[in-house]
Amino acid sequence: MKFRLNKTVAAVTSGALLLIAVPLAGFATTSSAAAKPTYVIGYEGPLSGGNEQLGLNMIFAVQLAINNANATGKLPFKLKLAQYDDQGSGTLSPAQAQAAVANKKLVAIVGPAFSGATKAAEPYYSAAHVATVSPSATAAALAFGTKNNFMRVVAGDDVQGAADATFLVTTKGLKSLIVINDGSFYGAGLAAVVAKSATADGATVTPYTYPETGSCGGTASVSQYTAAATQIVADKAAGIFYGGYYCDFGLLLGALSSAGYTGTIMSGDGSWSTALITGTSPASAANNVYLSEAGGGNANLTGKLASEYKALSHFSANNATYAAQSYDATNMIIAALSDIMRPKSLTALRGDLVTELHKLTFHGVTGVIKFQGNGDLTRSSVVDFGQVQSGTINSIGHS
Amino acid sequence: MGAFGHYLTSHFATLRLEFWGLLVGGLATGFIYGMVAIGYTLVYGVLRLINFAHSEIFMCGGFASYFVMKAIVGTSVPSGFASIGLITLGVVAGAAGGAIAATALERVAYRPLRRRNAPKLAYLISAIGASYFMYNLAGKEFGRYNIAMPQLYLNHPVFSIFGAPVELYYLVILIAGLIMLIGLDRLVATTKLGRSIRAVAQDAETASLMGVNIDRTIALTFILGGALGGAAGFLFGLGSGVVYTMGFTPALKAFTAAVLGGIGNLRGAVLGGLLLGLAESFSVAFVQAAYIDVVAFGILVLVLLVRPTGILGERLGRSA
């Protein structure tokens, strides 16, 4: 009986202690959270679909920047990453933007990654005063106004397109060009700049549009490239510029190879990805293709950052297009947030962050970043050039 | 000459220069559409339903052949008889992948509904559900990006027609497609299995009373259509690689081809596929690639307005 009584007393005592301990533990957690609030930095870009590799390149760099910032322990807040997968599509991005602005802890977005998706999502971010710092949306038309909540750490396509045209016409001496676009906001914009600049440089330009295909997130038939290649070969142009993304570019390269095209081929930053090589049938069709990237400065993460990036992503930082820019965009948001950090409502915090980002001069791994009022970089960016050689993309210089 | 006259003159000049190249490319595309369209038309014949998951059978064939080729082909590009052997093996692997997927589809998505005399709408929803399941599973397992097929031959012009080079890739599609389509036509027209398929298509109940095993015939019909669709997936993948969404657009076009030629009509499906392939090919040069589907579906509407049952008409239960 005594034993049983002791057992009952022990059970009741334990229960009482537990009842006291749980609220205490909760209180402790709440106190800690109140001392150091948690904010969310979102990433919007293609994390699935035909062009997901570009999004994966970026999100691991964003995660790395957040991990490193949290690890210092010096920030007056904790950071978390939220991912918004728009598949690079302007159709899907508004829903992702609405989900992002509805997140009560989200302060800013790294992205959106693709220009068309950015154009469709921006009204929602702008209305909610959410700063969007894109590592890769390069369409010239996205930069406007005097206090644009959209900013980018890469040059616009007006810079990239002009440099690409000069590379083809002046450096390579090509006097007849076919300029193709994929019908996307980004591809059509870049191709238009290339066509205009190449014409000004003295080349004859023939423009074609081949819309994005069902294999790459669009709706057009892949078979269009069979006929397109026949058409292109018959045109006998010395060079081709493709404004679009790597997935469809790879399909076009395969068709051009089948049709026996032997001229010079170039594309922009949307195609600068190792996935271009793994997705092209046959892979040899991508050999000797020229690529450009409007990043400027150090295009890749290097040294310790490259090792950390590889540990996180399980792929190399070399040719992880826009990883370095994503790392910088995230760190710039963190720096701006640290500058303005004091108790305030989320709405005020978001708005102040836009203002602070416009004021800030940030020294990142890709160089010095400062924004103009329209969201473009103040510095005249360098455009990097690469070439596919034996299955890898090698840097061959810059503009 | 007005602007429209100038437009026509310049585009006809373009066409004259590129005609033979566009013809060969269009025929190659058309054969792929035709092979996939056969799957739609065969299943429609025996079950009177459109198998909307056929796009995923095409995709399964592409991936099956990719994995077999990846396991066999090394880093060097094969040539000669090795290439011929690998292409044949790729066709067989694609056909096997398509046939297995089609069998699974018939067993899981259709047969239980048939046993319960479910309404046609239930089949449709089941097919759409199966399609979503299969392509999402493929995307999750194989990645959501385009993967190049290992190189089985060095592509080069084999001969030329009036100055237009005919590449080896197109020749592979034309030869493989022709052999398979003629083989299927003969199989359905002359063998016991073909008679069973035609009997079930004509009147399943009477065919059953005459001793035809309905379940077996339907299963074999799925296997035949799946094999052709899977082989087409391999031929498509040879040029464009494989990806989980690879079946959507070609299968939609193939379904269009089947309706264009006359649903339920095997030769109609092939004719529809070839016409659609050629229409697409020439519309790229004559109009614009952006209008390719406008042209293709415009032709479909026009043909159906004149011949509601398609070019060759429905020939359910007949030999062709």
Q: What is the pLDDT of residues B290-314, one digit of tens each?
A: 788 888 888 888 988 988 888 887 6
Hey, is the C-beta of B256 within 8 angstroms of any chain A C-beta?
no
- Identify the top-confidence range among A337-341, B49-53, B177-181: B177-181
Residues A324-338: tens digit of each pLDDT:
999 999 999 999 999
Query: pLDDT category, B272, cuts 50, 70, 90?
Result: very high
With pLDDT > 90 as the criterion, what percentage of chain A qualifies? 56
Least confident of A24-38, A138-152, A355-369, B204-218: A24-38
Q: What is the mean pLDDT of residues A297-317?
A: 85
**Confidence at residue A317, expressed as pLDDT on a 0 to 100 scale:** 84
With pLDDT > 70 as the criterion, what percentage of chain A qualifies? 88
Least confident of A81-95, A263-277, A371-385: A371-385
Query: pLDDT category, A15, cuts 50, 70, 90?
Result: very low
Nearest to B281 among A226, A275, A284 (CB): A226
Q: What is the mean pLDDT of residues A251-275?
A: 91
Residues A159-200: tens digit of each pLDDT:
999 999 999 999 999 999 999 999 988 999 999 999 999 999
Q: What is the mean pLDDT of residues A229-233?
A: 88
Hey, is the C-beta of B146 within 8 angstroms of any chain A C-beta?
yes
Q: What is the mean pLDDT of residues A286-311?
A: 85
Residues facing residue A179 across a β-bridge: A207, A241
Nearest to A231 among B165, B170, B284 (CB): B284
Higher pLDDT, A133 or A393: A133
Q: What CATH number should be reported for the domain holding residue B57? A: 1.10.3470
**Confidence at residue B319, expressed as pLDDT on a 0 to 100 scale:** 43
Q: What is the mean pLDDT of residues B17-24?
A: 82
Ranges in chain A annotated CATH 3.40.50.2300: 38-155+298-369, 158-293
Q: What is the mean pLDDT of residues A152-159?
A: 90
pLDDT at A341 over 90: no
Nearest to A53 among B145, B245, B290 (CB): B145
Task: Look at residue B24 and tell me if it is in a domain.
Answer: no
- Residues on chain A touching B15 (C-beta within 8 angstroms): none
Can you read off the two tokens belonging to residue A378? 């103040």
pLDDT at B159 over 90: no
pLDDT at A103 over 60: yes
Q: Give B124's contacts (C-beta < 8 A, 6+ positions apart).
A: B49, B50, B52
Residue A167 buriedness (CB in 10 A; 0-12 / 13-18 / 19+): buried
SS3 of chain B: helix, strand, coil, percent, to 5:
75, 5, 20
pLDDT at A346 over 80: no
**Confidence at residue A387, expressed as pLDDT on a 0 to 100 scale:** 95
Residues B82-118: tens digit of each pLDDT:
999 999 999 999 999 999 999 999 999 999 998 898 9
Q: How many CA atoms lie within 13 A of A41 on its CB side?
A: 30
Q: What is the mean pLDDT of residues A134-162?
A: 90
How many CB atoms within 10 Å of residue A219?
A: 12
**Confidence at residue A178, expressed as pLDDT on a 0 to 100 scale:** 97
Name the pTM for this structure. 0.78
Nearest residue of chain B to residue A50 (CA atoms): B145
Average of per-residue pLDDT values in chain A: 86
Residues B125-147: tens digit of each pLDDT:
999 999 999 988 998 888 877 88
Can you read off the two tokens belonging to residue B297? 């579906």
DSSP output for B258-289: HHHH-TT-HHHHHHHHHHHHHHHHHHHHHT-G
Nearest to A220 among B164, B167, B292 (CB): B292
Task: Look at residue B137 and tell me if it is in a domain.
Answer: yes
Q: What is the mean pLDDT of residues B152-163?
A: 83
Task: Look at residue B10 and tell me if it is in a domain.
Answer: no
H/E stretch holding B157: strand B157-161
For chain A, where are the E strands, in sequence order?
Answer: 38-45, 78-85, 106-110, 131-134, 150-152, 176-181, 204-209, 239-243, 264-267, 290-293, 362-364, 367-369, 384-389, 392-398
Nearest to A223 among B77, B147, B277 (CB): B277
Hey, is the C-beta of B145 within 8 angstroms of any chain A C-beta?
yes
pLDDT at A100 over 60: yes
Query: pLDDT category, A1, cuts 50, 70, 90?
Result: very low
Range of the domain at B186: 29-306
Task: Look at residue B189 and tell me if it is in a domain.
Answer: yes
**Confidence at residue A52, expressed as pLDDT on a 0 to 100 scale:** 84
Residues B218-243: tens digit of each pLDDT:
999 999 999 999 999 999 999 888 99
Task: Look at residue B314 and tell me if it is in a domain.
Answer: no
**Confidence at residue B39, expressed as pLDDT on a 0 to 100 scale:** 92
**Confidence at residue B315, expressed as pLDDT on a 0 to 100 scale:** 61
Nearest residue of chain A to residue B172 (CA atoms): A258
**Confidence at residue A226, expressed as pLDDT on a 0 to 100 scale:** 87
Task: Look at residue B278 and tell me if it is in a domain.
Answer: yes
B148/A283 Cβ within 8 A: yes
pLDDT at A25 over 60: no
Q: Token pair 């050629």 is at which residue?
A: B278
**Confidence at residue A325, expressed as pLDDT on a 0 to 100 scale:** 93
H/E stretch holding B10: helix B3-47
- Residues on chain B touching A216 (C-beta within 8 angstroms): 146, 243
How many CB atoms within 10 Å of residue A318?
A: 17
- Residues on chain A touching B240 (C-beta within 8 angstroms): 215, 222, 225, 251, 254, 281
- Identify the top-confidence range among A65-79, B155-169, B291-305: A65-79
Can you read off the two tokens belonging to residue B126? 């089941």
Long-range contacts of B66-75 (CB under 8 A, 24+ apart): B66/B147, B66/B149, B66/B150, B66/B237, B66/B242, B67/B93, B68/B93, B69/B93, B69/B149, B69/B150, B69/B152, B70/B150, B73/B150, B73/B151, B73/B152
pLDDT at A121 over 90: yes
**Confidence at residue A357, expressed as pLDDT on a 0 to 100 scale:** 95
- Residues on chain B touching A210 (C-beta within 8 angstroms): 289-290
Can you read off the two tokens belonging to residue B180? 């398979």
Query: pLDDT category, A29, cuts 50, 70, 90?
Result: very low
Higher pLDDT, B211 or A133: A133
Give how far B78 is from chain A: nearest CA, Å: 13
**CATH class of the region A158-293:** alpha beta
B167/A259 Cβ within 8 A: yes
Residues B172-194: tens digit of each pLDDT:
999 999 999 999 999 999 999 99
Query: Could you tell me the CA-to-CA distances from A259 to A245, B21, B170 in Å, in that order?
Result: 21, 9, 9
What CATH superfamily classification does A38-155+298-369 receive?
Response regulator (3.40.50.2300)
- Residues on chain B touching A183 (C-beta within 8 angstroms): 290
Residues B279-292: tens digit of each pLDDT:
988 888 778 787 88
Number of domains composing chain B: 1
Query: pLDDT category, A278, cuts 50, 70, 90?
Result: confident
